[in-house]
């Protein structure tokens, strides 16, 4: 009899634990489905100064039993600033702050969004780290730019459209075999700038998408007309003097620069040097995820840096089992 009661007690405890797990799972799933966004339009406008204007338009649907006082969005950036926000065409005071490798944006509703209610949310941000540093080509005629945008939603998104507008007179990079990833679903031009776009039917919390574009635009440095004859004469004399200096001391200067390798001729930014130092300190190779955790930069920014270093032959990325590894080549 005692054994029978012990078995029943154990069975009851097991049933309680299983029910508890399913209850928590259902609760977690329902928390994700209390509201969703449908549709969502994200437009990214790149500027020649390295910044990107982000425009987001979404319709929020509350299908839960409770009122919503605000909604949160996340942007994979550590250099993003909220410029303007509105709900149902009414300006609101949104709040943004830097989180753990992302910027959180909270948009308040002027009035609580009740069950089965919908609201149109629109905001503008300026982002400083979607683009890599500008690099002039060997002829000094074009600037090359790497653009990388991650999206990892915390709210379920339906009918997502992501559009990227390049600066005027720019084009996809001619130096890259695959200058745009993934292949866009649509593209257009107004004769001055190009627009590329992607469409995603459904993107759930925890899922992600990445959009990479390598483009170039001409170096349109303004040419100033100088009418002062004296200035022309002085410039001519200065040019002759500079040429003489380069002729006499140029080889010596080049030799000193050469001692640190051809890479230094190209030039390395402080952030790129930090990446190389971390890899050196780990013996010349390390998992790519180590760089994400040890650098105070967004994951997208680190990925851009790695892409730049790999294209210049300084590192090599490869797959080792389930790990993405980075190996230094400059030594």
- pLDDT greater than 70 at residue 14: no
Q: What is the pLDDT of residues 185-222, one digit of tens each?
A: 999 999 899 999 999 999 999 888 989 999 999 987 65
Q: Residue 39: is the preceding peptide bond cis (ω within 30°)?
A: yes
- pLDDT greater than 70 at residue 57: yes
Tell me if 122 sits within 8 A of 86, measured CB to CB: yes
Tokens 């209850």 belong to: 23
Confidence of residue 31 (pLDDT cuts 50, 70, 90): very low
- pLDDT greater than 90 at residue 105: yes
> How is domain 33-218 classified at the architecture level of CATH?
Sandwich (2.60)
Which pLDDT score, from 0 to 100, does residue 251 have? 54
- pLDDT greater than 50 at residue 26: no
Which pLDDT score, from 0 to 100, does residue 28 have? 37
Which pLDDT score, from 0 to 100, does residue 243 have? 61
C-alpha 132/C-alpha 143 separation (Å) is 11
Tell me if 327 sits within 8 A of 104, measured CB to CB: no
C-alpha 294/C-alpha 159 separation (Å) is 36
Tell me if 159 sits within 8 A of 36, measured CB to CB: no
More confident residue, 243 or 222: 243
- pLDDT greater than 70 at residue 260: no
52: which strand partners?
46, 127
- pLDDT greater than 50 at residue 67: yes
Q: What is the mean pLDDT of residues 240-259?
A: 54
Which pLDDT score, from 0 to 100, does residue 242 have? 63
Q: What is the mean pLDDT of residues 62-76?
A: 94
The CATH class that applies to domain 262-328 reads: mainly alpha
If one counts every other C-beta atom within 10 angstroms of the C-beta of residue 207, the result is 13
86: which strand partners?
91, 122
120: which strand partners?
59
Q: What is the mean pLDDT of residues 88-117?
A: 94
Domain limits of the chain?
33-218, 262-328
DSSP reduced 3-state for 265: helix
Confidence of residue 230 (pLDDT cuts 50, 70, 90): low
CA end-to-end span of the chain: 77
Query: Which of 168, 176, 169 shows the shortest CA–CA distance to 212?
Result: 176
- Considering the chain, what is the average pLDDT of its residues? 81
C-alpha 77/C-alpha 95 separation (Å) is 15
Q: E strand or H helix at 218, and its extent?
A: strand 209-218
- φ, ψ for residue 24 (rounded to 5)? -65, -40
Fold agreement (33-218, 262-328): no
Lowest mean pLDDT segment, chosen from 234-238, 285-289, 299-303: 234-238
C-alpha 218/C-alpha 136 separation (Å) is 9
More confident residue, 29 or 321: 321
If one counts every other C-beta atom within 10 angstroms of the C-beta of residue 238, the result is 10
Q: How far is CA 304 from each of CA 41, 133, 155, 275, 314, rounded to the nearest angstrom?
A: 24, 9, 26, 11, 14
Which pLDDT score, from 0 to 100, does residue 132 have? 82
Q: Which two tokens stand for residue 203?
A: 């993107």
């Amino acid at each position: 009899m005692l054994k029978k009661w012990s078995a029943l007690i154990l069975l009851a405890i097991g049933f309680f634990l299983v029910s508890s797990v399913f209850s928590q799972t259902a609760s977690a799933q329902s928390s994700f489905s209390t509201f969703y966004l449908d549709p969502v339009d994200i437009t990214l406008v790149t500027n020649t100064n390295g910044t990107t204007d982000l425009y987001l338009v979404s319709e929020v649907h509350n299908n839960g039993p409770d009122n919503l006082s605000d909604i949160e969005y996340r942007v994979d950036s550590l250099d993003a600033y909220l410029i303007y926000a509105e709900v149902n065409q009414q300006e609101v005071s949104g709040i943004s702050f830097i989180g753990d490798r992302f910027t959180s944006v909270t948009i308040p509703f002027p009035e609580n969004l009740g069950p089965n209610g919908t609201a149109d949310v629109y905001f503008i941000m300026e982002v400083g780290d979607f683009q890599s540093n500008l690099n002039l080509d060997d002829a000094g005629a074009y600037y090359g730019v790497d653009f990388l945008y991650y999206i990892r939603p915390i709210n379920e998104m339906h009918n997502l459209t992501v559009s990227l507008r390049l600066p005027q007179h720019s084009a996809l990079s001619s130096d890259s075999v695959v200058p745009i990833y993934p292949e866009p679903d649509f593209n257009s031009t107004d004769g001055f700038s190009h627009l590329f776009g992607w469409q995603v039917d459904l993107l759930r919390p925890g899922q992600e998408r990445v959009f990479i574009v390598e483009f170039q635009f001409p170096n349109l440095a303004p040419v100033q007309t100088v009418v002062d004859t004296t200035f022309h004469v002085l410039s001519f004399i200065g040019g002759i003097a500079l040429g003489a200096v380069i002729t006499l001391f140029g080889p010596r200067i080049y030799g000193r620069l050469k001692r640190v390798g051809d890479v230094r001729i190209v030039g390395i930014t402080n952030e790129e040097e930090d990446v190389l130092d971390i890899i050196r300190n780990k013996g010349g190779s390390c998992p790519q995820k180590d760089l994400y955790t040890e650098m105070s930069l967004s994951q997208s920014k680190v990925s851009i840096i790695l892409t730049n270093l790999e294209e210049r032959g300084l590192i090599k990325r490869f797959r080792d089992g389930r790990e993405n590894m980075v190996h230094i080549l400059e030594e």
